[in-house]
Amino acid sequence: MITRVSDVFQIETQSVVEGLKLAWSKGFTQVEVNCDNAMLIDTIRNGFTSISNIAKVQLIHEWCTKDWKVKFRYVLGKNNKAADCLANAAIEKLNQLVLLADPQQYITRLMLIIHCRRRPLSPYIPRF
């Protein structure tokens, strides 16, 4: 399967839209979106969302104009290990919205794995 840059952009744009919808439905008034797609973040930060010919990008603009504060931040992919860990936990359910009841357990396990790479593996690390 060949994945084009435009496919990745569309998928990440859809993810941002779905995340904004979810945050709005949960009643959040301030949201910070961290994304490792520099092109998407540049499009949003430079105000091109309102004039984009991509429908999902225009949707981001519409969601941002609601009565709440939305901040977008670019993060390096290699610094986004927590998001990757959570995404891998839900990988079997690709075309569904997955809400992790206890995301803390996945992040705790990730931190333990990172810590153990620096030290010998301990038999006391809990398995989730």
Pair (91, 50) in one structural domain: no
Mean pLDDT of 47-53: 78
Q: Are strands 69-74 and 30-35 parallel, antiparallel or unpaired?
A: parallel
How many domains, the chain? 2
pLDDT of residue 117: 57
Per DSSP, helices labelled H in the chain are 5-25, 38-45, 55-64, 81-89, 103-118
Pair (88, 47) in one structural domain: no
What is the domain range of residue 18?
1-76
Does the pTM surpass 0.85? The reply is: no
Partner residues linked to 32 by β-bridges: 71
Summarised one tens digit per residue, pLDDT across range 70-99 is 999 888 866 666 666 656 655 565 556 656
**Exposure of 35 by Cβ count < 10 A (0-12 exposed, 13-18 middle, 19+ buried)?**
buried
Residue 11, pLDDT above cutoff 70: yes
Mean pLDDT of 16-36: 90
CA dist 112 and 121 (Å) reads 10
